Amino acid sequence: MYLIFVVGPLFSFCLSAFFSSIFGAKGTAYLTTQLLGITSLISIFIFYEVILCDSTCYLLLFNWFDAGTFNINWSFYFDPLSAVMGVMITVVSFCVHLFSINYMSGDFQHERFMSLLSLFTFFMIILVLSDNFIQLLLGWEGVGICSYLLINFWYMRKATNDAALKAVFFNRVGDLTLLLGIFIIFYSLSSVDFFIVYDNFDVLQNINIRIFFLTLIV
């Protein structure tokens, strides 16, 4: 069930992006909305199990890549914070999907809009459930790309193009600072895993950033 929660929005995206010609615009909209509704119900069950039953869950899918001490797994960690965020993300996304059925019904790119909403939800789930900073970065980048595509959905209008470019610019500023933070963490601890970082938080507090930058320049 935890895996269904993760891949549900991705399946919704694939359905609306690649099989919309089979189901039609309205059928695709209803199917994607139903899939997000199921995902939001699962998120409530996860909230109950993780928080009310005090049962955290670690979902390890596979090893992403391994190079020396740089070991990255494709995995998800369900703790109280991520369970709360999971409910917020999926319930709000379901409401947006539901509202968009009629609001976007007259648009000739209705299927594309629904697919982008589902993909945005998937990357948000990746962002909040990651157990390492590299996977978190992937979720962050995916959210940024989907934000650009959704803001620029009516790409024929100059105003939407300008707004999308502003969003990309500010996202890139966030990317640079996030990458710098990840690099400092790996430089100090030789790991980007959340559990290792939490266990060695005192090491990060004692970092002399000025010495680090001098070392980096040299």
Mean pLDDT of 179-200: 78
Tens of pLDDT, residues 16-54: 888 877 877 788 888 888 999 999 999 999 999 988 888
Q: In this predicted structure, what is the pLDDT of residue 203?
A: 60
Rounded to two decimals, what is the model's pTM?
0.84
Q: Which long-range contacts (CB under 8 A, 24 or more apart) does 26-29 make?
A: 26/101, 26/105, 28/110, 28/111, 28/114, 29/97, 29/100, 29/101, 29/104, 29/105, 29/110, 29/111, 29/114
